[in-house]
């Protein structure tokens, strides 16, 4: 597993192949997070289990991924970025193999929720560190743009891929596809630069690792409890326990002294939560009320993914011509227009074309925000702080998925508490999009606080 050793931040002139390998990993993790949502009924039938059990398996996956991300950032300081990435890929690959062959829900829990969750956390953190340590300047902006867009595209096309494979073949094929991609990553892993370790095993902050994992676990679990009327009253206490002050922080909190770092992560949380919410509320509504199949639902998210991906190729040129404040502001404005348009669509007689147009506008806006927001986040981060910055950003990515799904799912289903009627679901859906519009408007306001950068 030898590779190019580097000790300083900068453009290593290694070409774009390392980026391709890393974005492959980002793509399958995004697919992995999202595709099972359209296969729940098939999983219940094939594994002879219940809906509650499968939902628990999905919840455990989200909790493992989110809880271990910060600790994975600490591990990469000991193992090195490349080795952490590859160990994660191996564990993830083993998990996909077990998941594809699952005979019952326990095998799926072991393979998908636990092993893929652990492997995904290790890869997730290392991916950002590898990119920002390998590329600099305009190349870094392009690399982060492509990475962010591929990761976002995977989240929105995951339901389409899962729906297609589940409808015409089996959900097992999705795990098989992930296994093949992992093999490709391992075969071509020598192209990834090998960054040296920066500390020893004895330096690991064990107390901080336990506190961070437990804190994130309780925070996400508390949000999940909100969806159950029986446990809703204890949810605030669980979340407050999770966000208690840690006297032994696992990461360097001085990173939050940087305005660009705070704003970049705020933008990620806002648009990430919006995408996760849309990815939950739209499938529930269109399948329950409009009668769309899982495959047709997937087409809706392809409409979001295409503009999101295509706008990535403009990242490099735009980043050197315009200030980040103006670029990110435009992105939020486009997203806001899309959300307001969707409110008007769902308030009348929603059509497939109208829904696809609305989500495509949101996809276009996120495609503008994501790469430039990522570049803004790391613009003032020194080389020695890159692992911590990557761990925070990766944790943010996992948290906004869980939080977005939990919050918008709660808003949608609160509108359908008494009966799963069209009127109740319509009310819940519109309330969800009103909140989405508010979050996007908040992002637009915060984008005005970005400092102008010297060209």
**Domain boundary assignment for the chain:** 17-205+250-449, 206-249
> What CA–CA distances, in Å, run from 404 to 30, 245, 275?
15, 24, 8
Closest CA to 265 of 370, 119, 416, 410: 370
pLDDT value, residue 96: 93
Mapping DSSP to helix (H, G, I), strand (E, B) and coil, where does residue 315 land? helix
pLDDT value, residue 91: 95
Instruction: Classify 17-205+250-449 by CATH class.
Output: mainly alpha
Distance CA 74, CA 250 (A): 7
**Helices 206-225 and 235-242, axial angle in degrees (round to 10):** 160
DSSP string across 148-160: HHHHHHHHHHHHH
Backbone phi and psi for residue 201, each to the nearest 5 degrees, phi listed first:
-55, -35
pLDDT value, residue 335: 94
CA contacts within 13 A on the Cβ side of 381:
31
pLDDT value, residue 454: 59
Distance CA 376, CA 47 (A): 45
The tens digit of pLDDT for each residue in 208-262 reads 667 777 777 777 777 767 666 677 678 777 777 766 655 556 566 777 778 888 8
Distance CA 397, CA 269 (A): 7
Closest CA to 407 of 300, 294, 270: 270
Residue with tokens 């637009």: 444
Distance CA 344, CA 364 (A): 19
Distance CA 129, CA 74 (A): 12
pLDDT value, residue 127: 84
- With contact defined as beta carbons under 8 Å apart, do 407 and 273 qualify? yes
The tens digit of pLDDT for each residue in 97-133 reads 999 999 998 999 999 989 998 998 888 878 877 887 7
- Dmax (CA) for the chain in angstroms is 62
Closest CA to 178 of 89, 84, 279, 108: 89
pLDDT value, residue 6: 43
- With contact defined as beta carbons under 8 Å apart, do 121 and 74 qualify? no
- Strand partners for 194: 5
Within the chain, which residues score under 70 in pLDDT?
1-14, 37, 40-41, 51-52, 55, 59, 152, 155-156, 198, 202-205, 208-209, 224, 226-229, 232, 242-252, 315-316, 383-384, 386-387, 413-422, 453-455
In 188-323, alpha helices (H): 206-225, 235-242, 259-288, 294-310, 315-319
The tens digit of pLDDT for each residue in 53-79 reads 776 787 678 778 877 877 887 787 788
pLDDT value, residue 330: 93
pLDDT value, residue 439: 93
Distance CA 332, CA 339 (A): 10
- State CA 82 to chain mean position distance: 21
């Amino acid at each position: 597993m030898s590779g190019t050793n580097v000790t300083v931040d900068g453009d290593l002139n290694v070409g774009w192949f390392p980026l391709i390998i890393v974005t492959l990993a980002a793509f399958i993790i995004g697919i992995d997070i999202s595709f099972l949502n359209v296969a729940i009924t098939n999983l219940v039938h094939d594994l002879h289990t219940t809906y509650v059990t499968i939902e628990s398996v999905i919840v455990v996956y989200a909790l493992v991924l989110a809880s271990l991300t910060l600790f994975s950032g600490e591990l990469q300081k000991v193992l090195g970025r490349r080795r952490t990435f590859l160990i994660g890929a191996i564990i993830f690959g083993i998990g996909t193999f077990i998941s594809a062959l699952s005979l019952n829900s326990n095998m799926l829990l072991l393979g998908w929720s636990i092993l893929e969750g652990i492997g995904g956390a290790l890869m997730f953190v290392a991916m950002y560190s590898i990119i920002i340590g390998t590329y600099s300047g305009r190349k870094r902006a392009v690399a982060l743009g492509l990475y962010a867009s591929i990761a976002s595209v995977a989240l929105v096309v995951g339901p389409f891929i899962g729906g297609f494979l589940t409808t015409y073949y089996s959900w097992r094929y999705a795990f098989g596809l992930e296994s093949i991609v992992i093999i490709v990553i391992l075969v071509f892993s020598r192209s990834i630069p090998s960054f040296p370790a920066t500390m020893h095993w004895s330096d690991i902050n064990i107390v901080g690792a336990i506190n961070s994992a437990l804190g994130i676990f309780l925070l996400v679990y508390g949000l999940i409890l909100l969806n159950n009327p029986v446990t809703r009253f204890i949810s605030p206490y669980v979340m407050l326990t999770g966000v208690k002050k840690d006297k032994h922080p696992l990461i360097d909190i001085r990173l939050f002294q940087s305005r660009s770092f705070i704003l970049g992560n705020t933008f990620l949380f806002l648009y990430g939560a919006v995408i996760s919410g849309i990815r939950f509320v739209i499938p529930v509504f269109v399948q329950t009320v409009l009668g769309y199949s899982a495959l047709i639902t997937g087409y809706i998210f392809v409409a979001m993914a295409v503009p999101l991906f295509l706008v990535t190729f403009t990242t490099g040129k735009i980043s050197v011509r315009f200030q980040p404040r103006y670029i990110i502001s435009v992105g939020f404005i486009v997203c806001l227009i899309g959300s307001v348009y969707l409110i008007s669509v769902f308030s009348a007689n929603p059509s497939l074309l109208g829904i696809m147009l609305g989500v495509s506008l949101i996809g276009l806006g996120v495609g503008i925000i994501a790469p430039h927001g990522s570049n803004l986040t790391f613009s003032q981060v020194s080389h020695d702080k890159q692992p911590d910055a990557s761990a925070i950003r990766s944790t943010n990515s996992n948290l906004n998925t869980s939080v977005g799904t939990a919050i918008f799912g709660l808003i949608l289903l609160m509108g359908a508490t008494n009966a799963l009627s069209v009127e109740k679901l319509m009310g819940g859906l519109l309330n969800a999009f009103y909140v989405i519009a508010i979050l996007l408007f908040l992002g637009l306001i915060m984008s005005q606080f970005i400092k102008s950068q010297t060209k």
